Amino acid sequence: MKEIHYYQSPVGCLAIGVEEGALTSLQFSNEKASVERPVRPLLQETCKQLDEYFAGKRSVFELPLAFEGTAFQQKVWKELQLIPFGQTISYAQLAQAVGNPKACRAVGSANGRNPIAIIVPCHRVINANGGLGGYAYGLEVKSRLLELEREGV
């Protein structure tokens, strides 16, 4: 059974979902964050690592992840995890990295459907011209995440 915990981050409330010993979702939410720390160890560890990330003390997450999506989406999401902290790549570079250089739109679509924001850093993908491109949770959030990472490098 999926368990959800609401976490207040500097960029908004996050809904953290875990199921069967793995993190299955991390999405921005309009819900009110819980003031209580979660009881489940994986939720505790996720909150701890998010605290460290937002404090500039963590650049890599070490959590068990479980994705539900097409084989192509999963390939894109795995590739996103290889983008170094504080760096960005273009949608075209991501398409190249997944072995389909002409699939920029498909890569963008898979990127937008990433179920585990921040930890699977879809915010690190930008337009080839250096523009931010899109972001499922708004360009202000994407800009703040990239700025936070640049400050932590």
Instruction: Look up residue 41 and give its two tokens.
Output: 């160890």
Mean pLDDT rounded to a whole number for the chain: 94
Domains and CATH numbers, the chain: 3-54 (no CATH), 71-152 (1.10.10.10)
Nearest Cα to Cα of residue 74 among 110, 33, 38, 47 = 110
What's the pTM value of the predicted model, to 2 decimals? Answer: 0.93
Q: Which of 13, 47, 104, 122 is an active site residue?
A: 122
Distance of alpha carbon 22 from alpha carbon 83, whole angstroms: 21
pLDDT of 153 above 70? no
> Left if phi > 0, otherwise alpha if psi is -120 to 50, otherwise beta: which for 148?
alpha
Instruction: Report pLDDT digits (tens) over 49-101.
Output: 999 999 999 999 999 999 999 999 999 999 999 999 999 999 999 999 999 99
Nearest to 79 by CA among 59, 98, 64, 102: 98
> Annotated catalytic, 47?
no
